Structure 1
Amino acid sequence: MSSTPLPRAFFDRPSHEVAPDLLGRVLVHGPVAVRLTEVEAYGGPGEDPAAHTYRGRTPRNAVMFGPPGHLYVYFTYGMHFCANLVCLPEGSGSAVLLRAGEVVEGVEVARARRSGARSAARPVPDRDLARGPARLAVALGLAREHNGLDAVLEGSPAGRPHASAAVLEGTPPAPALVRSGPRTGISTAKDVPWRFWIDGDPTVSPYRAHVPRRRNSAATSVGEAPSS
């Protein structure tokens, strides 16, 4: 598995092109590293009604309008954080949601973060450590304070002395193993096939169609901008 960091130019492309290329790449944050197995792309303002940026820039989504390769971390449903990687040039407002992956480094740290009050007699199975966007964020230790964190190491010395996050080349899957389909749990643009995953990988999360909920706040994924 290659530990070479991906350059910023990798992310300076449309999100639906970056997304499938992220499969098999490794996101490192502190002691934990996750090989990405499932992602979703979200477009820009006025283009993708499922994206947080559909209605333009706000304090909440401002990081999505920043330079490519930065982490956009947001809070949803009053209980979960989800992590995304910003795409396209500054000012564009596009990102890829990181939906699932395999913990390849720092397994015990990730397990401790995910277990919480769970009994030590019933540890979280390896395949479930980062299986789903909220679980992935917990396993990597990503929260509100990491919103805007740069995940590109260009210009930094060897290793990670000046950055606490990085996306490494990893081992991309064979093209024949890359699948695409509708995005999970969104009510608008729900048939756009911008969810990408590695076929047969046990860490990929199950697909769930949108189920209407009675609430006023923004919903899941990078999608579902507030209605007011």
Structure 2
Amino acid sequence: MRAAPFPEQIAGMDATDLARRLIGATLLVRGAGGIIIETEAYTRDDPASHSFRGPTARNASMFGPAGHAYVYRSYGIHLCLNVVARPGEAVLIRALTPTTGIKAMEARRNSPLLCNGPGRLTQALGIRSGDDGAPFDGTDLSITLSPALPDLLTGPRIGISRAQDLPWRFGMAGARGLSRPFPPQAVSP
């Protein structure tokens, strides 16, 4: 029996549950990608979230269907890739372990640091502004959830000025290539 498409698998899931569930999943973007090893959750009532003040032209995709991309430019420089959960909630993909299309990623990055950070990751994968709102349906973007859930690290989100204390950053325990180390004792049950 064939699994339901990714957007259907996550329908109704909140951002923190989705952020945990995406660890160990395979992300592919036009033939390049790997295993997701780090995520951050953002919810509608979260003052650090782009959706906190409601829908705008910039964050419209964040209020769109679950399992679609929310792509935005950070600090006017780097694109960031998010997966929409419930309306107004999304999960930032912070790092992945490259497994597919590595030569293309190396050419895009021109650096040995490929996917350890949201800006590096989107550059390596060739994420475009036009990917905003696109479904993770296997056409250009796809996510395949792992049947096995890895041990998780949990800690505070990074690079934000509000709601820094929320432990909504998740990582794969033992993974190399995280954007930043987690605090000691960060392993989740």
Q: TM-score, normalised by structure 2?
A: 0.89
- Determine the C-alpha separation between the residues in 1 that align with 2:98 and 2:70: 20
Closer, same or farther in 2 for the Cα pair 1:59/1:207, shift >3 Å? farther
| CA RMSD between the two structures | 1.8
Q: Which residue of 2 aligns with 1:167?
A: 143
Alignment of 1:1-228 (within 5 A): 6-44=6-44, 47-88=45-86, 92-115=87-110, 124-125=111-112, 128-152=113-137, 160=138, 163-170=139-146, 172-174=148-150, 177-206=151-180
Closer, same or farther in 2 for the Cα pair 1:60/1:207, shift >3 Å? farther
- Determine the C-alpha separation between the residues in 2 that align with 1:11 and 1:181: 25
Closer, same or farther in 2 for the Cα pair 1:4/1:169, shift >3 Å? farther
Look up the SS of the partner of 2:81 in the other structure. Answer: strand
Closer, same or farther in 2 for the Cα pair 1:171/1:37, shift >3 Å? farther
Unmatched 5+ stretches in structure 2: 183-189
Structure 1, residues 38-79: CA drift from partner, whole Å, max 9, x if none?
Answer: 0000001xx100000000010000000000000000011121
**Aligned residue-pair number:** 180
Give, as a single letter, the amino acid of the residue that structure 1 aligns with 2:18: V
- Determine the C-alpha separation between the residues in 1 that align with 2:60 and 2:135: 14
Shift of 1:186: 1.0
Closer, same or farther in 2 for the Cα pair 1:60/1:205, shift >3 Å? same
For the Cα contact (< 8 Å) 1:173–1:198, is it kept in 2? no
Unmatched 5+ stretches in structure 1: 116-123, 153-159, 209-228
Shift of 1:8: 2.0
State the identity %.
Answer: 38
Q: TM-score, normalised by structure 1?
A: 0.74
Closer, same or farther in 2 for the Cα pair 1:11/1:104, shift >3 Å? farther
Closer, same or farther in 2 for the Cα pair 1:10/1:32, shift >3 Å? same
